[in-house]
Structure formats: structure tokens, C-alpha cells
Structure 1
């Protein structure tokens, strides 16, 4: 029999079920923060099937929120994609400033290196689905272009992928440990074919549409990495497998250059923190560093240029309840 980890909530005292479930999810997959309105006596069943480098986990559970936060990413990042196949219920996803909902048999995936909020629910009972954890190294390098997009699981390669996956889950008890790595390789190859098909469909779009989609992905990447003082056109271009020259071409329809867009976003976040009552005790230099300004003098100079006043004065005005008339950064 393949190596499996099995959890049935009925085997754990009601008061301990949810905490046990949270620990299991973080231990068998990756660090996650879980929340549910049903935590008092949680109902769930969870199997983890080991297929070499690939993990498959059929599961059902009561409505649940999954949070993958920047702090948890810093704690541990296995550098993997998680492919989700809802069978009963809907996955609602927030990631990179975008929201999407995925109904049964709409394959979609998450990047362990990027924050997200997933809410799984089923109005008619327990949510059920199958998850697959696959190392990024086994999938196409351009796969991140498909984040947030549904891939049909009832037609084409998606149907083959889904049929293989559900049959594997149903027959896992008759398989031996030596079958695991081979089946993992087959599943990873099917995932590659699925992603390649979806990427070909993207490449068939008009050039302007592809470029606009790329611009949106780059902007999301920038927002997620604003705290990194090493965020530059070169690192952004490398992360998206394009040249710096092409990156600037993508941004030619924006109001600002790449560098100006990064600075604008950092200043807006810093300004928001400066007027946040919960952060009045946070030193200004700490807020500046939080949003990628390695040099406090550079931050003060850029802030004054954008807002017409130094950060200290801006914070003071915010404390006098004038936030509604505080200036926004200049273009």
C-alpha cells in the first residue's frame, strides 16, 4: 500500500479537533493559518498520499479559511505549486490584489512563495476536493503566468488529469510503495501538459492583450515585493523571464516608468502607515525600511517631493483627524 497519512476528526475529542487539524495541515503541507466558524467541533477527513516528490491529498471538511501570509512564507517555503480540484463546493481565492471563485472541476493553483487567502465552502454540506503539491522545478517555468486562472477539468488534457487523479485516489489501497514515485512522475507530466496547453492558449491571444496581462502580473509582483530594497527592473525582469528592455516596453502605456511606479507604491504604503492610529508608536525610519527604503534620508526627500511635506508633518496632520484632506503623492 502507498504511504498515507489519514486524519478523521471523529477520532479526536471535539474540543481538540480543529487545533489538531491545523497542526496536521502545517506539518504535512506548508505553514498555514486556518480559521473556521465551526472550530468548536470541527468535521474533516484528510488523506495525504506520498508519490515521491509529489503529494496528493483527497479531503473533505467544513467551511474553512486558509491564509498563507508573508510571515509564514519567510518561515518556510517548499518552493511548490499547489493544484486544487474542487469536487463539491467552491474555492474563493484572494491573491495579488485579485479575487476569483472556482466551481467544481475548475482546476486552479497557488504558489507557495506568494501570499493568498483561500475560503472553501459548500452551501449544501462539507466541501470536498483533491489537492496536489508539486515542486516548481517539475513544471514549466512560465507556469506562474496562469495564477488565478481556471483550467477546465472536464475537457481536453484537464479531463485526463482529473480522471487519472480521481482514479489514483480511489485505488490507492491496492498500490504498493514502489508504485508511488512512478505515479508521481506520471501525474507531474500530466500537470506539465495541462499547463502547457493553457500557456499555448494564452500565447494565442492578441499581442496587446498578452502585454496587458503581463503588466498586471508584474504590478502584482511589485506590490508583493515592495519591502525588498533590492527590487529593481533587473530583478523584476529576471523573475518574469523577460529582458529589462522589454519590461520598460510593457510599462510604456503606464503613467510612470517602472522605477517611478515602485517608488509611488512604496510612498503610498508608507503614507498609509504614518496615519494609521495603531502605528503611531512605530518610528518613521522603521516604516520607511518596511517599504523598501534602505536610506532614511532618501525616504524623507522622496516623501517631501511627493506629498509637499516631510513624513513627520504628514503624520502630525493625520493625528488631528485631517486624513480626509491629506494630499496624495504627486504623479
Structure 2
């Protein structure tokens, strides 16, 4: 994309929507000025230099529904102040900070004054292949690391490479971003991890009967990475999946003892497949569900 300079919000809305994903723009600046220059690095990775006056850019539910996208964007902030809001959290943007956001969920970026940044954009699949939960990664400042510094330097230095060189640079940026995300996942759990783990266990106990409850959904609810969730449970010698399964089976046993049918106990404890329920129950308790119901114990 050739460099674009604009002097109105309408022009900036069109420019941003074309360069990134469909967006809405608002500004109170009386004389708005902004510009962007984008470099495409292969078929799906772009780096865009952005400067603007004060403004707010947002992507809402209506835009997501009408024009869905699966892109992940990373703001590498260079000048000015700003804030990104997504998934109920806010992250402050300052010189040198880096924050990720996800085009598949509503977000807003606000800048109170003149700003400049470099935005790396790539498909979600480049990161989801390693099992990351984006609700735990977005609107959170990425921790400083050698990988993040290398990513920022490379993205900021990109000019207009051609052919194989462009794709090679794009692949290098993707590799560095994956390393940054792994560093985020390997960071120590939040303060008081035992209290956090206990809160998560209580929440799982209340929601285990939902057949769609998975470790990924638990991590997303608590805004942490799946690997962080696994570490919290590993400290007690178990896994999140095993804990969910145990909650369901204990609930099913209580229902059976109380006179519920095997089908009802399975359904009300979160099992959609009766055979799977029966096998899991027997492994856990050493008896079939029907025998426990018959004995009432």
C-alpha cells in the first residue's frame, strides 16, 4: 500500500478499514491529520507505520457480525500515550510498550494526543496452532524480553522488500511473536497463586455441568493463558481437565444416590454421551452408575 495522508475522519476511517480491519473512528480534534504507510510481507502479514492526532478507533459487535475477521494485531507504540480496551481490561500504551488485540472481539483504542506506532497484523491461525487463548493475551502489556525487543526493532526497520525477502521477514516476525507469547505464558502466575487456584476450582465446581466447559474456556474466563492454568493445577498434582471430570463424576454420583436415572445423572452432570459417562464413572469409582443407583450408595 502506498503511503496515505488524510485530513478528515471520514478519510481516516476508510484508510484504517482498508489497511487493518473495518473500524469506526471518532475524534474531537478541530484540525485532524493522520497518515499510514503499510508494507506487506507475504500473503498474510503486514507492518504499518501510523501517526495521528487525538482520536478513538473502535470495532464493535455490529462490525464484527457484518464483516468478520480473524486477524491479530500488535501495537508497538513509539510516541504519545494511548489505551487499548478489550475483554473487560485496559492496557496503557506508552513509548516502547507492546499490546495485542484481536479483531474477532470488540475493542477500542484511544489516543488523547498526537501519537505514532507500528502495527503488526497477522492471521489468528499463526498463533492458535500452539493453543493460546486470546482472551488471556489481549489488552495486556506484553512483558519485556529479548524476543520482544528484537520483534520491535525488526518491525520498525522494515522498508519495502520484494519477493522472497518480504516473506522471509514476515516469517521472522511471526517466529519472534510466537517466542514473545511463549515468554508471556511462562511468566509466573499472578500474585497469590493458591488463592487464584482455589477461586478457579470453586468456579469450575459451579459450572462443571456445562458440557462445553473446557480448560480453554476456564482460562478465557479468568483472563489467563492455558499454560498458566495448567501450572496452577500442577502445583496440586492434577490437571484442569481431570478436575473438571472429577467435579462432574462426583455430581453424577450424588444424583444417582438421590434416585436420578443414569441418563438424567449423566445429562445433569455435563455428559452428552452415555457410554463415555459410564466408562469414566467406573474408572473413578470402581462401580457402574446403574449399580450405584440400585444400591443407593
Q: TM-score range by the shorter chain?
A: 0.5 to 0.7
Q: Displacement, 1:66?
A: 1.1
SS of the aligned residue for 2:14 comes to helix
* Separation (CA, whole Å) in 2 of partners of 1:248 and 1:37: 55
**Of residues 24, 27, 30 in structure 2, which corresponds to 1:36?**
27
Q: Is the 8 A contact 1:35 1:64 kept in 2?
A: yes
Task: Give the structure-2-normalised TM-score.
Answer: 0.64
Look at both structures and tell me which one has the larger radius of gyration over its CA atoms.
2
Counterpart position of 2:5: 8
CA gap 1:214/1:46 in 2 versus in 1, 3 angstroms: farther
Counterpart position of 2:119: 131
Deviations 1:6-54 (A, max 9, x none): 2012xxxx5xx3211101211221111110112x542111011111211
Q: Does 1:46 align with 2:44?
A: no
Correspondences of 1:299-314 after superposition (within 5 Å): none
Q: Displacement, 1:68?
A: 1.2
Q: Displacement, 1:87?
A: 0.4
Counterpart position of 1:183: 169
Task: Give the structure-1-normalised TM-score.
Answer: 0.58
Counterpart position of 1:237: 214
CA gap 1:86/1:187 in 2 versus in 1, 3 angstroms: same
CA gap 1:35/1:248 in 2 versus in 1, 3 angstroms: farther
Correspondences of 1:115-126 after superposition (within 5 Å): 115-122=106-113, 126=114
Q: Displacement, 1:133?
A: 0.8
Counterpart position of 2:59: 68
- Root-mean-square deviation (CA), in Å? 3.1
SS of the aligned residue for 2:3 comes to strand
Gaps of 5+ in 2: 218-225, 227-239, 248-297
Deviations 1:128-167 (A, max 9, x none): 00111111111142152222221245x4211111111112
Deviations 1:282-329 (A, max 9, x none): xxxxxxxxxxxxxxxxxxxxxxxxxxxxxxxxxxxxxxxxxxxxxxxx
Counterpart position of 1:294: none
Task: Count the aligned residue pairs.
Answer: 218
CA gap 1:7/1:209 in 2 versus in 1, 3 angstroms: farther
Counterpart position of 1:167: 157
CA gap 1:143/1:193 in 2 versus in 1, 3 angstroms: farther
